[in-house]
A and B are shown apart, each in its own frame.
Chain A
């Protein structure tokens, strides 16, 4: 009896604190249902002018669409090449010493904490407008994020295979190359594909800050109030992201499937 009363009290207290936090956050962001309802006619108006989408511009957009894909592909490949060796320095069990481990972990944490879009803005100041700052931004952010996943995977690698490979007389680098990397390869590829999906999604909006790709076209069309073409571009972006996500998800599932 007493126990259930305490449980109820806990639940009520939890709900009240949730309500307080929600009110605080909504007040700061001016969230209001009435404003939303007032805006519905505007939304209807915009949707009306958006239809039918004007796909005639898509052929002209092919270079921008290709550029978006190229940004994502270049970013993920460069990231993978950088992040693999770094992760071994940032994993407790393979780092040469504690200091290197701490420094590499800190660098990865810092890299990860800044969003790719923000990096792109900074790199635009340095490299000028265009897709290159976008790639640089994606590489830095993804290196931080993938580095964390990779190094944690390395730390959790089965110590038995390290021991058995060492027992053959292999050097430590050989243990990494011939035991740890083969063991973690499916996991690493899975993470890389996952971040490739992220790169595709992000590269479609990098254009908003001037870092190349289809996002720039999207911004232009919105600014020119060409809503039918805007919708066509949005549909194209959704299509690209969906196709890439589906293919990559299928590959990832297959890799995990084989594992079992």
Chain B
């Protein structure tokens, strides 16, 4: 599903110095796998996720999505690949002043045929609306579809974020610390929601987390990242206390 080969990324600071964020990452993720990406802040989790859908341009390496290399793809091909990859964000990244349904409809943008692509208020058909409402129903937010996002709680906003991803009808979901800003009860609910949706639909899930504890129940594989390198890759059971400490030291 996802195959990463020799992926390296460096950030260029304002004074021109380069900071290595990812160093020669090699990784393969099978269809339907649920993988947790753990590591401390600045370890390279977010960078890795953003290289997979090319929100960031890696310095070198390959990222193959279903066999297609997104790194050397043309603009149009990138958009077609991105359409299949939903992304859930730590800050939810919603348009605060729009309705929940309008935010979910953004997931349909890449599916619009050319003649409707740029029709500001008339772009979406009733079919798009149905998909969006159905997505909201799947995150149990159907009745709040016509509420403005800034009137929703954090947990509800992240549900809207998940519904937006579902509207994309994705094959892969990248979740970038999706529960870091939520309270303990919401953390559990959102994680189990993401996991069960992925399982039901056979979506491949790559979820980055600060700690492995919360996500242990849901994933079958853990990847530990430290200073831009993968230092652990195995099942939850294989992750021993000492290895866990090593990731965070």
Contact status B79-A171, CB under 8 Å: yes
- B97 and A161: CB pair below 8 A? no
Give the distance in Å from the alpha carbon of A169 to the alpha carbon of B82 in the complex: 5
A185 on interface, CB distance cutoff 8 Å:
yes
Q: Which of B71-96 contact A (CB under 8 A)?
A: 78-83, 85-87, 89, 91, 93-96
Contact indicator A169/B97 (Cβ below 8 Å): no
Other-chain residue from B81, B106, B161 in contact with A178 (beta carbon distance below 8 A): B106
Give the residues in chain B near A258, CB-CB below 8 Å.
148
Of the A-B pairs whose beta carbons lie under 8 Å apart in the complex, a sample of 20, sorted by A's number, is: A160-B89, A161-B95, A163-B89, A163-B93, A164-B161, A164-B164, A166-B82, A168-B83, A168-B164, A169-B80, A169-B83, A170-B109, A170-B110, A174-B117, A178-B123, A183-B96, A183-B98, A185-B97, A258-B148, A259-B150
Leading 6 A-B pairs by shortest Cβ distance: A169-B110, A164-B93, A169-B83, A169-B82, A170-B109, A160-B93
Question: Does A182 count as interface, using CB distance less than 8 angstroms?
Answer: yes
Q: Are A160 and B110 in contact (CB under 8 A)?
A: no
A167 touches B97 (CB 8 A): no
Tell me the count of chain B residues lying within 8 A, CB to CB, of chain A.
Answer: 33
A178-B109 contact given A163-B55, A167-B53, A169-B79, CB 8 Å threshold: yes
A162-194 at interface with B (beta carbon < 8 Å)? 163-171, 173-174, 177-179, 181-183, 185-186
- Cβ-defined contact, B95 with A167, below 8 A: no
| Distance of A186 Cα from B79 Cα, bound (Å) | 30
Q: How far is the CA of A167 from the CA of B87 in the complex (A)?
A: 7
User: Is the CB of B135 closer than 8 A to any CB of chain A?
Assistant: no
Closest residue on chain B to residue A166 by CB atoms = B55
Known: A167-B53, A179-B95. A173 touches B118 (CB 8 A): yes
The answer to whether B158 has its CB under 8 Å from any CB of chain A is no
Residues of A within 8 A of B (CB): 160-161, 163-171, 173-174, 177-179, 181-183, 185-186, 258-259
Given contacts A164-B93, A169-B83, contact A177 B110 (CB under 8 A): no
- Is B107 in contact with chain A by the CB < 8 A criterion? yes
Residues of B within 8 A of A178 (CB): 106, 109, 120, 123
A183: nearest chain-B partner, CB-CB: B95
Q: Is B168 among interface residues, defined by CB-CB distance under 8 A?
A: yes
A160 to B148, CA, bound (A): 18
Separation of A177 and B117 alpha carbons in the complex (Å): 10
Q: Could you say which residues of chain A place their CB within 8 Å of the CB of B150?
A: 259
